[in-house]
Chains A and B, each alone.
Chain A
Amino acid sequence: MNAIVSIRDVVKEYQLGQTTVQALRGVSLEVLKGEFLSIAGPSGSGKTTLLNLIGCVDTATRGVVEVAGKDTAKLTERELTDLRLNTIGFIFQSFNLVSVLTVFQNVEFPLLLQGKLGGSERKAKVMQLLEQVGLHTHAKHRPSELSGGQRQRVAVARALVTDPLLVLADEPTANLDSATGNQIIDLMKSLNQQKGTTFIFSTHDHKVMQHANAVIRLADGKVLGRESAKDAVAHALSLGEAAANEVRA
């Protein structure tokens, strides 16, 4: 089987006071190994919810979510945590580095949780990753001493240090200027190409979207379709113009 993520008829409901909100309304999709996939859609379309379900940090109300061939609904809390640790890497919108740890320690953290490598191996691995993201000279810095782009590179290194099959990035460029955002996407893309790691990232920025192999478009909790990056960008641009016209009118 070539699919790393397989989602079938997934519904996710939230309880907001008395009312039930459906964030996802019967979503089905497959993500193949080695893909560099973007999930696009306006705010509230269900991008983050979908990523949460794929990242095993949340569970579906109905439907099946399979990650790396495992039905996440059948895993215990502990097994889900292990799955996240060993199979998935996370890149967050606001970087989410541990402020009291150095750059090196932040990247080393997942390796320590795994407990598989000895000290020197860990060090070699972390330094290799930092070199790949161009921050090997900043290993002893604290996150507060870095720029936003540098922090997100540290986050990328942390996400990849365990050699995960899948990296999830939720709006990874949202807190960055466009040039830095592009650099991060380039970095992710090059890692995707070098290591064959599957990347799924959510964005509503068409400039970011255009780097993807394919784009899943979501609206109102439903998958509108799977498009090429080019189509998706065009779609996004037209939507953007229509919205601009609406504003002008």
Chain B
Amino acid sequence: MGRLSMLVQIAWRNLLASPINLIIGALILFGTFLFVVVGGLLDSLNAAMARSVIGSAAGHVQIYSAKSKDELSLYGSMGGDPDLGAVTEFPRIKEALEAHPNVKEVVPMGVSGALITSGNTVDVALEELRNLLKAKDGVVDRPEYKNLAPAELDTRITASRRHVRQMIKVLDADQKKAAAILQDKAIDPEVVAALQKVSSDDFWAGFDNDPWGSLEFLENKIAPQVTDSQLLFIRYLGTDLDRFQQSFDRMQIVDGTRVPKGQRGFLVAKLFYEDQLKLKSARRLDKLKDARSLGRLIATDDELKRFVKENKAQTRDIVLQLDDLKTSEAVTKLQGFLKSDEKDLATLLTAFFDTTDENLEVRHGFFYEQLAPMLQLYKVRVGDTLTIKAFSRAGAISAVNVKVYGTFAFTGLEKSPLAGTTSLMDLMSFRDLYGYLTADKAEELAQLKRETGAKQVTRESAEDDLFGEGNTVVAEATAGVIDEKKEFTGVGRRLREDDLVRRVYSDAEINGGVVLHAAVILKDPALLSKTIDELNALSTEKNLGIKAVSWQQASGLLGQVILFFRVLLVMAVAFIFGVAMVIINNAMMMATLQRTQVIGTMRAIGAQRTLVLSMVLVESVVLGLVFGGLGMLVGSGLMSFLHSHGIAAPNDVAYFFFSGPRLLPELSTANLIIALGIILLVTLGSTMLPAIIATRVSPLRAMQADE
């Protein structure tokens, strides 16, 4: 004990004697600090991201077909969605996996994307008018018109007509403005004539006599003048909605309701709903208000300035939404608010949207209290039926109508574009869209076969059946066989008639079809990698044909982000400690050479070589521990400060990585222990050679006077 304390004292005093030790110490301090802080931050980020990924779609483990061409990547990868093989025996797989002691639940899934198109504003208004007129004729295409009283229907038709007329008025005014500044040859006389015609009272007086012809004229000649139609890409996860809602408890319904158990339905991701489906001017006002509440200033922030500029320029969405009555109401309100005599709504709106840091709060309030009730704020409303068109795997376009039950968000990830842009769809509709045979379609096919007397041709006998002697399959085509009234039997018809929308599917039906992948929720997530190995072994043993991967692998590139930063950290720390090792080695080598007489004296008066070895090693270990300890202390201090204050997510993307608006980094004991190990390794490693050289100093050196 006395000997060690003396060695430590010798080491300590030697350290203080040499300024190079300060440089080495600073390097060790910085390296340790970096390791503890950045390592801790990455660990916390990893844990937070794990919560985000696991809680928002992936579950702990994902399984997918072992025959898939690509690896599963839930958030898409560079080349679009991965090409996954279909899992056809899902019920058997589910049963086998759920028998594993650590598996809580297996939730079937499929991720895909589709386009939803909305016609331009005029198209939409004309379609509404057409549907209302059809409803009056007794043809109800849209469920929401089904139970309207005739009087209510008439009121709606009148309002709808007024709306269309107001739109024409706006377009006519636009055209006249254009004519004033454009050369004659740039103006299409046909458009001018069409606008003139539909602006006239005569056209509208004759509308009732030929409503379909008038509508067609409006649709063909007027609607194309407006170019604001939108093609939206919507990403959705087809799943067993009921099970999903139970398993992913961070999911919360924001507007509307859950999809009733076993039914078809669609839940729009709230962020997507706000970003893509909300009236742009309203969305920008919201964003301005959010930014102001975070302390950003319109006066200095380029993005906010752009929002204001766009709001001032893009008033048309609002102008085209209002009929003449609502337009004059809006004009009156805005005149009062702005204390202006201006009569043009667009000009008033431009003035209104000239928001500044001072007036934003009041104008935001006025917009939602006074103007919003007159407007349709969202292109798709809760309760609407959404038509989604997607390319099936075979390349054909398939479409389904699904009812939008509501919007949802994951708690803490409300603002994250990664978690907030994937909507949810029932598995039946997903399979319809993806082109897989669903129970409904199978039934429809069987019915068609019965009706047409079609025969099944097998691959083996196809040639014979089709071209052989006495073939029975090929028949002559006869005109008039197709009955146009029978066009919509089967799924299409039943979907239109709201039949399938109301149908409740059993668990067996939901699970029975094809799925692309499935989330496995574990009872004890700590056993993740062990469970994955066991599930893969189970798949081989029971011939399930699936592959189990961790949430991290399943999230594709996203899952590798943290790994990437970790590699970066390891490289940085390795570099710093590498440099430290070289300097320590040199410094200790110099120190050893300078101290040969002291070492020789010690050897002469009876110190064994082992003592000399320990003396040099203790010196560098003390150096490492003192400065490394300081680094750990400073790092731990910073981490505990960060833990108590939290790090605010700098942008919306960070919400996902932070698993909420703030990251509360945790100091990890493991990192401290690893840092200690690294320090010992570095200091001992770099001093080994000087230490060995020191042991070779002869006691004779003591006799050689050099003072």
Binding site for B on A (CB under 8 A): 48, 51-52, 55, 57-58, 77-78, 81-82, 84-86, 89-90, 92-96, 98-101, 105, 108-110, 112-115, 119, 122, 158-159, 162, 170, 174-175
**Contact (Cβ within 8 A) B606 A57:** no
**Contact (Cβ within 8 A) B703 A52:** yes
**Contact (Cβ within 8 A) B3 A94:** no
B101-121 vs A, Cβ < 8 Å mask (1 yes, 0 no): 000000000000000000000
User: B706 — which chain A residues lie within 8 A by C-beta?
Assistant: 94
User: B705 — which chain A residues lie within 8 A by C-beta?
Assistant: 92-94, 174-175
> What residue in chain A is nearest B11 (Cβ atoms)?
A100
**Contact (Cβ within 8 A) A115 B3:** yes
**Contact (Cβ within 8 A) A78 B608:** yes
**Contact (Cβ within 8 A) B605 A113:** yes
**Contact (Cβ within 8 A) A96 B10:** no
**Contact (Cβ within 8 A) B598 A99:** yes
Q: A90-B702, A113-B611 are in contact. Are A98 and B10 (CB under 8 A)?
A: yes
Give the number of A-B contacts (CB < 8 Å): 89
> What residue in chain B is nearest A80 (Cβ atoms)?
B699
**In the complex, given contacts A81-B607, A112-B3, what are 16 additional A-B residue pairs having Cβ atoms less than 8 angstroms apart?**
A51-B703, A52-B700, A57-B698, A81-B606, A81-B608, A82-B606, A84-B604, A84-B606, A92-B702, A96-B597, A100-B10, A109-B6, A109-B605, A112-B6, A113-B605, A170-B703
Q: Is B13 an interface residue (CB 8 A)?
A: yes
Cβ of B615 to closest chain A Cβ, rounded Å:
10
A113 to B615, CA, bound (A): 13
B616-641 vs A, Cβ < 8 Å mask (1 yes, 0 no): 00000000000000000000000000
> What residue in chain B is nearest A171 (Cβ atoms)?
B705
Q: Is B601 an interface residue (CB 8 A)?
A: yes
**Contact (Cβ within 8 A) B604 A57:** yes
**Contact (Cβ within 8 A) B606 A110:** yes
User: B6 — which chain A residues lie within 8 A by C-beta?
Assistant: 101, 105, 108-109, 112
User: B603 — which chain A residues lie within 8 A by C-beta?
Assistant: 57, 81
Binding site for A on B (CB under 8 A): 2-3, 6, 9-10, 13-14, 17, 597-598, 601-609, 611, 698-700, 702-703, 705-707
CB-contact partner of B605 in A84, A99, A174, under 8 A: A84
User: A101 — which chain B residues lie within 8 A by C-beta?
Assistant: 6, 9-10, 13
User: B3 — which chain A residues lie within 8 A by C-beta?
Assistant: 112-113, 115
> What residue in chain B is nearest A57 (Cβ atoms)?
B699
**Contact (Cβ within 8 A) A90 B700:** no
Residue among A86, A89, A113, A159 having the largest count of chain B Cβ atoms under 10 Å: A113
**Contact (Cβ within 8 A) A112 B597:** no
**Contact (Cβ within 8 A) B707 A94:** yes
User: B597 — which chain A residues lie within 8 A by C-beta?
Assistant: 96
A78 to B608, CA, bound (A): 7
Cβ of B194 to closest chain A Cβ, rounded Å:
102
Cβ of B99 to closest chain A Cβ, rounded Å:
65
Q: Is the interface of B mostly helix, strand, loop or mixed?
A: helix
User: B17 — which chain A residues lie within 8 A by C-beta?
Assistant: 100
**Contact (Cβ within 8 A) A96 B702:** yes
**Contact (Cβ within 8 A) B699 A84:** yes
User: A108 — which chain B residues lie within 8 A by C-beta?
Assistant: 6
User: A48 — which chain B residues lie within 8 A by C-beta?
Assistant: 703
A78 to B609, CA, bound (A): 9
A94 to B611, CA, bound (A): 23
Q: List 7 A-B contacts (CB under 8 A).
A: A52-B700, A81-B606, A92-B601, A92-B703, A94-B707, A96-B598, A113-B606
A158 to B605, CA, bound (A): 9
- Nearest first, the 6 A-B pairs at minimum CB distance are A85-B606, A100-B13, A57-B699, A96-B601, A94-B707, A94-B705
A161 to B550, CA, bound (A): 69
Cβ of A43 to closest chain B Cβ, rounded Å:
12
A93 to B707, CA, bound (A): 10
A47 to B3, CA, bound (A): 34
CB-contact partner of B700 in A58, A98, A175, under 8 A: A58
User: A85 — which chain B residues lie within 8 A by C-beta?
Assistant: 605-607
User: B703 — which chain A residues lie within 8 A by C-beta?
Assistant: 48, 51-52, 57, 92, 170
> What residue in chain B is nearest A92 (Cβ atoms)?
B702
Q: A90-B605, A94-B707, A101-B10 are in contact. Are A122 and B2 (CB under 8 A)?
A: yes
User: A175 — which chain B residues lie within 8 A by C-beta?
Assistant: 705, 707
Cβ of A191 to closest chain B Cβ, rounded Å:
17
User: A96 — which chain B residues lie within 8 A by C-beta?
Assistant: 597-598, 601, 702
User: A162 — which chain B residues lie within 8 A by C-beta?
Assistant: 606
> What residue in chain B is nearest A119 (Cβ atoms)?
B2
**Contact (Cβ within 8 A) A98 B602:** yes
User: A113 — which chain B residues lie within 8 A by C-beta?
Assistant: 3, 605-608, 611
Residue among B601, B605, B611, B700 having the largest count of chain A Cβ atoms under 10 Å: B605
> What residue in chain A is nearest B598 (Cβ atoms)?
A98
> What residue in chain B is nearest A97 (Cβ atoms)?
B601
Cβ of A161 to closest chain B Cβ, rounded Å:
10
A61 to B14, CA, bound (A): 38
Cβ of A58 to closest chain B Cβ, rounded Å:
6
Cβ of A24 to closest chain B Cβ, rounded Å:
15
Cβ of A5 to closest chain B Cβ, rounded Å:
17
Cβ of B16 to closest chain A Cβ, rounded Å:
9
A112 to B6, CA, bound (A): 9
> What residue in chain B is nearest A159 (Cβ atoms)?
B605
Cβ of B383 to closest chain A Cβ, rounded Å:
85
> What residue in chain B is nearest A102 (Cβ atoms)?
B9
A173 to B26, CA, bound (A): 45
Cβ of A213 to closest chain B Cβ, rounded Å:
24
Cβ of A112 to closest chain B Cβ, rounded Å:
5
Cβ of A38 to closest chain B Cβ, rounded Å:
17
Cβ of B256 to closest chain A Cβ, rounded Å:
78
> What residue in chain A is nearest B707 (Cβ atoms)?
A94
Cβ of B613 to closest chain A Cβ, rounded Å:
13
User: A159 — which chain B residues lie within 8 A by C-beta?
Assistant: 605
A100 to B595, CA, bound (A): 11
